[in-house]
Amino acid sequence: MNNSAIDRLSTGVPGIDKMLSGGIPRGFLVAVVGEPGTGKTIFSQHFIAAGLSRGEKAIYVTTEESRESIIRQAEMFGFGFKDAVKNGDLIIIDALMEERGDPWSLYELTIEELISKIIEAKKTLGYGHARLVIDSMSAFWLDKPAMARKYSYTVKRRLSRWNLTIIATSQYAVTTSLGFGFGIEHVADGIIRFKKTIIGGELRRFVIIEKMRQTPHDRKVYEIDIIDGTGMKIIKPSVYTASELRIPISIIRKILEAEYKKESEL
């Protein structure tokens, strides 16, 4: 593989760029998956901020936090979202608050409205490449997880012509053991998995690159930290293996049982 011929985009986290032989290939749809609280949103903000710092335009779709919450969090790490929105370099589509009269709100949580609003935002930003985050895709199939693969494929196919590189987050709910990530993982060009666990009474977070097409990526698990005022940082290789940090087989079994049940009801 001629790695030097591939146009790669920085994730904004130097340690993860190194794991990816320089970054994410331009035009990819990458699934960023994991439990709540593992760092998916902060990683997504790093990705957008890295593009803005290079003069790229960006779109951020938020389904689980308000636009204001995303801006406040980004400002805590010096990502400059507030100024980018003001200057017209960043459009944040709010799918949570549903404010009437707001041109960048989603009034219905449907895949068709999501795609339509993203295309409208891309036209507003103008010609050229843009970065897109959808945080999270899980919101669009919470009540019908069996549709995850179909919806993910629809998003990828419909947006592929719009010169976007896409980060789409997805999660599974620990409390219910129901999965919301498996559909997008099948469709995605890459999978970056975040994981958390309690070790010695302390919360620890980890990351592994499970898949990245056209990329000789690092296969080791790395411990990460989220540092006030800075953001995400790779700490060191982990003593834990990928298999030890994967979703437990008992949860996977429940996920599959739930999907089969949903499919039989469609």
List pLDDT tens digits, range 203-242: 999 999 999 999 999 999 999 999 999 999 999 998 766 5
pLDDT confidence band for 244 (50 / 70 / 90): low
The residue-averaged pLDDT of 142-149 equals 82
Alpha carbon distance 131, 89 (integer Å): 11
The two structure tokens encoding residue 1:
């593989």
Mean pLDDT of the chain: 88
Residue with more model confidence, 184 or 160: 160
pLDDT range class, residue 114, cuts 50, 70, 90: very high
Which H or E element spans position 31? strand 29-33
What does DSSP assign to residue 147?
G
Higher pLDDT, 112 or 258: 112
For position 257, what pLDDT does the model report? Answer: 65
Name the nearest CA neighbour of 80 among 110, 102, 108, 50: 50
Q: How far is CA 203 from the centre of its chain?
A: 22
- Which of 60, 73, 193, 62 lies closest to 140, judged by CA? 62
First to last CA, the chain: 43
What pLDDT score does 2 carry? Answer: 57
What pLDDT shows up at residue 148? Answer: 87
Residue whose pair of structure tokens reads 């592994």 in the numeric block: 208
- Predicted confidence band of residue 179 (pLDDT cuts 50, 70, 90): very low
Q: How confident is the model at residue 143 (pLDDT cuts 50, 70, 90)?
A: confident
- pLDDT, residue 242, reads 58
- Three-class SS state of 173: strand
Q: Which residue has the tokens 């919360």?
A: 203
pLDDT at 145: 76
- Domains contained in the chain, CATH given: 3-265 (3.40.50.300)
- Tell me the CB-side half-sphere exposure of residue 43, using CA atoms within 13 A: 34
Asked if pLDDT for residue 261 goes beyond 80, the answer is no
Tens-place pLDDT, residues 181-204: 467 888 999 999 999 988 889 999
pLDDT at 183: 76
State the Cα–Cα distance between residues 266 and 263, nearest whole angstrom: 5
Q: What's the confidence (pLDDT) of residue 180? A: 47
User: Helix, strand, coil % (nearest 5) of the chain?
Assistant: 40, 25, 35
pLDDT at residue 150, rounded to an integer: 92
Least confident of 19-33, 44-58, 143-157, 233-247: 233-247
